[in-house]
Amino acid sequence: MSTEEAHVPDAERKKDTISLDRHSPRYRIEFEQLADEFHAKCPVAWNETHGGYWFASGNKELFDVARRADVLSNDNDISGTKRGYVGISIPHVPDPERRTRGGFLEMDPPEQRYYRQALNPYLSPAAVARWKPVVEELTRACLDEVIETGRIDFVDDLANVVPAVLTLAMLGMPLKHWEIYCEPTHASVYTPPDSPDYPRVQQLSLQMGMHMMQTIHEIRANPRPGLINELVTVEINGYRPDDTEILGVVMLLIGGGFDTTTALTAHSLEWLSEHPDQRERLSRERETLLDSATEEFLRFYTPAVGDGRTISQDCEINGTRFKEGERLWLSWAMANRDEKVFPDPHTIHLDRTGNRHSSFGLGIHRCIGSNVARAIFKIMLTAVLDRMPDYVCTPGGAVHYDTTGVINGMKNLPATFTPGRRLGAGLAETIDRMQRICDEQRLAEAVTVRAARAELD
Amino acid sequence: MKVRVDPQICQGHTLCAMIAPDLFALRDEDGHSYAISEDVPAGKEDLAKEAARSCPEQAIQLF
């Protein structure tokens, strides 16, 4: 790069400028029009809101920049000893009490790579396959709780429960503690600081953090298999992480494991209620259609809508000149609606091919729980199709998050259906039984230690 | 037709093995993909192409 090029004025570099508050209702309500407009005019733009940041929405543009770990940083420099970067949230909310970063999602290699290598054997497709009987049984119990009433809230009664219980099981925690984690994990995503409910949610979150710290101490003292035990024994690039760093990692796994899977499941069930012919087809042709339908729901609803990065060195990509220290938003959600890659992008095609969506991110930070999410989603969805084939979501009953700047989620999704018969024990009893099976069979071990699938007695 | 998964680019999205389980396998420890055989069996060329087209990281090379 010549000296002249290096001093291109900001006005020239940022000539494609937009003003979009992703945390406003407008972003959610006008999402499709905005995506079309940006793709046509400014697939990479300078967004003036929230202190200014680059906004990548075009599929090719996002693809070309998102995988450039050589010029991007995820680091959240909480100790102030590195370059002062602020992690993956835009806007960054400075909080003097916040002493943890978002686990390895707010780290760069090599530390980030050590964490993933340590945790992948608990979360790979082979590792997750071992849990399927447990997920099926938890799902069965959730549906049994309501099957005789003909009424369900798909969020409260199913999609919030199964991912939470399974995540705790994989962590190696007591399953019955799922309720301590469920509400604050979801509510802290959708409750803005100016909400009257905010202090209560903050209090719940605080209790959750304290409970998790205690759990980490307990597992350190009395080892039991699972992700937490791995974290308290692992060596990361020559050091052993302290409890605060481990807490950040565990909360990343919980945050990633709960709200996103709930969001995907609720949206998919809502859409299938609105398209009963497609629902019937999916149920009938699930052998061939379930995988592609799952990927299409992932593409269309993109539960984790995007991620922030910091530019770590001056660079030019596809004609955009980025400067070190500038912030960048990777809009997975908008890239998933780019008609250059996805024909008829704003319509769900259950049999879509070539569906290379970026809903789990791209590059070295690909969602580490993607295999868990897919497995739980497919089991919950097919169980609903089998046991509540005629469900109808209550008109006006669905409560979507007011804003979708972080997660495209849902708070409630009530529905009615023709009542059916229970097949087994209720949820509390089933959770106790699954706990015993987890303990006896050491299900939460890494797949490299224990490869056998769970056996229900 | 031959097929290869670039291990430097693959991030374990698993779509290839979903689309063409006869052509791609996933490593137990991290779910990253590899081609079961470099030679695509006769009649499986379209599946190989669809897997390559669907890879979010574009890690699959056909040659």
What is the distance in angstroms between the Cα of A148 and the nearest Cα belonging to chain B? 36
ipTM of the prediction: 0.98
Asked if residue B60 has pLDDT above 70, the reply is yes
Asked if residue A1 has pLDDT above 60, the reply is no
On whether the B3-62 domain is CATH 3.30.70.20, my answer is yes
Asked if residue A100 has pLDDT above 80, the reply is no
**Cβ contact (<8 Å) for B15 and A366?**
no
d(CA A426, CA A143): 9
Asked if residue A225 has pLDDT above 70, the reply is yes
Residues 123-142 of A with CB under 8 A from B: 123-127
Neighbours of A341 (CB within 10 A): 20
Q: How many domains does chain A have?
A: 1
CB-nearest to A124 from B15, B30, B57 is B30
Per-residue CA distances from A210 to A205, A214, B34 (Å): 9, 6, 42
Q: Each residue of A273-284: b (16+ CB within 10 Å) or e?
A: beeeebbeebbe
Query: Average of pLDDT values for A415-422?
Result: 98
CB-nearest to B50 from A63, A353, A448 is A353
Pair A339, A133: CB distance under 8 Å: no
Residues from chain A contacting residue B56 (CB–CB below 8 Å): 356-358, 360, 362
d(CA A294, CA A268): 9
Predicted local confidence at residue A420, as pLDDT:
98
- pLDDT tens figures, A121-172: 999 999 999 999 999 999 999 999 999 999 999 999 999 999 999 999 999 9
B55 touches chain A (CB under 8 A): yes
Residue % of chain A over a pLDDT of 70: 98
Query: Average of pLDDT values for B38-54?
Result: 98
Sign of CA dihedral A109, A112, A115, A118: negative
Please state the pTM of the whole predicted model: 0.97
pLDDT band at A194 (very low <50, low <70, confident <90, very high): confident
CB-nearest to A120 from B19, B30, B54 is B30
Predicted local confidence at residue A129, as pLDDT:
98
Q: Which long-range contacts (CB under 8 A, 24 or more apart) does B21-25 make?
A: B22/B47, B23/B47, B23/B48, B23/B51, B24/B51
pLDDT band at A96 (very low <50, low <70, confident <90, very high): low
B25 touches chain A (CB under 8 A): no
One-letter amino acid for residue A110 of the chain: P
- Asked if the structure places residue A112 within a domain, the reply is yes
| Backbone dihedral angles phi then psi of residue A288, each to the nearest 5 degrees | -100, -20
CB-nearest to A448 from B19, B28, B53 is B28
What is the distance in angstroms between the Cα of B53 and the nearest Cα belonging to chain A? 5
* Look-up of token digits 């998933």: A336
B7 touches chain A (CB under 8 A): no
> DSSP string covering A246-305, please?
HHHHHHHHHHHHHHHHHHHHHHHHHHHHH-HHHHHHHHHTHHHHHHHHHHHHHHHH-SB-
Which CATH number is A176's domain given?
1.10.630.10
pLDDT band at A405 (very low <50, low <70, confident <90, very high): confident
**Cβ contact (<8 Å) for B57 and A291?**
no
Residue % of chain A over a pLDDT of 90: 91
- pLDDT tens figures, A310-355: 999 999 999 999 999 999 999 999 999 999 999 999 999 999 999 9
> DSSP string covering B1-63, please?
-BEEE-TTT-----HHHHH-TTTEEE-TTT--EEES-SBPPTT-HHHHHHHHHH-TT--EEE-
d(CA A384, CA A73): 41
Q: Which long-range contacts (CB under 8 A, 24 or more apart) does A14-20 make?
A: A14/A46, A16/A41, A16/A42, A16/A44, A16/A45, A16/A46, A17/A45, A17/A46, A17/A47, A17/A48, A18/A42, A18/A45, A18/A46, A18/A47, A18/A48, A18/A55, A19/A47, A19/A48, A19/A49, A20/A47, A20/A49, A20/A55
Pair A99, B4: CB distance under 8 Å: no
CB-nearest to B26 from A121, A125, A355 is A125
Predicted local confidence at residue A98, as pLDDT:
58
**Cβ contact (<8 Å) for B12 and A366?**
yes
Asked if residue A14 has pLDDT above 80, the reply is yes
Predicted local confidence at residue A193, as pLDDT:
84
One-letter amino acid for residue A135 of the chain: V
Asked if residue B5 has pLDDT above 70, the reply is yes
- pLDDT tens figures, A433-456: 999 999 999 999 999 999 999 999
| Backbone dihedral angles phi then psi of residue A302, each to the nearest 5 degrees | 25, 75
> DSSP string covering A174-223, please?
-GGGHHHHHHHHHHHHH--TTSTTHHHHHHHHHHHHHHHHHHHHHHHHS-
Residues from chain B contacting residue A369 (CB–CB below 8 Å): none
d(CA A291, CA B19): 8
- Asked if the structure places residue A457 within a domain, the reply is no
* Look-up of token digits 């809101």: A49
Mapped onto helix, strand or coil, the DSSP state of residue A53 is strand
Residues from chain A contacting residue B30 (CB–CB below 8 Å): 116-117, 120-121, 124
Element (H, E) at A139: helix A132-146
Mapped onto helix, strand or coil, the DSSP state of residue A328 is strand
Predicted local confidence at residue A192, as pLDDT:
85
Identify the closest residue of chain A to B58 by CA–CA distance: A356
- Counting beta carbons within 10 angstroms of the beta carbon of residue A381, is it exposed (0 to 12), middle (13 to 18) or buried (19 or more)? buried
Asked if residue A2 has pLDDT above 60, the reply is no
**Cβ contact (<8 Å) for B14 and A355?**
no
The secondary structure of residue A159, as a DSSP letter, is: I
pLDDT band at A67 (very low <50, low <70, confident <90, very high): very high
Query: Average of pLDDT values for A5-32?
Result: 89
**Cβ contact (<8 Å) for A356 and B56?**
yes
Identify the closest residue of chain B to A126 by CA–CA distance: B28
Query: Which residues span the domain enclosing A134?
Result: 3-441
Asked if residue A3 has pLDDT above 50, the reply is no
Neighbours of A129 (CB within 10 A): 16
pLDDT band at A95 (very low <50, low <70, confident <90, very high): low
Predicted local confidence at residue A97, as pLDDT:
58
More confident residue, A403 or A34: A34
One-letter amino acid for residue A401 of the chain: Y
* Look-up of token digits 């420890």: B29
Asked if residue A99 has pLDDT above 90, the reply is no
d(CA A225, CA A300): 36
- Asked if the structure places residue A446 within a domain, the reply is no
